[in-house]
Amino acid sequence: MSLDVLALRQQFPILAQQVDGKPLVYLDNAATTQKPQAMIDALVNFYTQCNANVHRGAHYLSDEATRRYERARDTVAGFIHASAREEVIWTSGTTEGINIVAHGMSKRLKTGEEVLVTEMEHHADLVTWQQACLQSGATLKVAPILDNGALDIAAFETLLNERTKMVALPHVSNALGTLNPIKEIAAMAKAKGALVLIDGAQGVAHGQVNVQDIGCDFYAFSGHKLFGPTGIGVLWGRKAVLEDWPVWQTGGEMISKVTYECSTWGALPNRLEAGTPNIAGAIGMAAAIAWFQSLDLAAVQSHEKQLLAHATEQAMAFEGLRLVGTAPDKIGVMSFILEGSHPADVGFILDKQGVAIRTGDHCAQPLMRRLGVPGTARASLSIYNTLEEVDMLFKALKKAQMMLA
Strands (E), 246-390: 255-258, 263-265, 321-324, 333-338, 355-356, 358-360, 376-380
In the chain, the largest separation of any two C-alpha atoms, in whole Å, equals 71
- Separation in Å, CA 216 to CA 52, 67, 170, 182, 196: 36, 30, 12, 8, 5
Alpha-carbon Rg for the chain in angstroms: 22
Measured N-to-C along each axis, helices 60-80 and 37-49 cross at an angle, to the nearest 10 degrees, of 150
Q: Which residues of 90-103 are buried (b: 16+ CB within 10 A; e: fewer)?
A: bbbbbbbbbbbbbb
φ/ψ (deg, to 5) at 75:
-60, -45
Cβ–Cβ under 8 Å, residues 90 and 55: no
Catalytically active residues, by annotation: 363
Measured CA to CA, the distance from residue 300 to residue 306 in angstroms comes to 10
Under DSSP, the state recorded for 247 is P
Short-list 210, 132, 204, 134, CA closest to 168:
132
For residue 89, give every residue at least 6 positions away whose Cβ sits within 8 Å of its Cβ, in sequence order, or none: 97, 100, 234, 235, 236, 237, 242, 268, 269, 272, 273
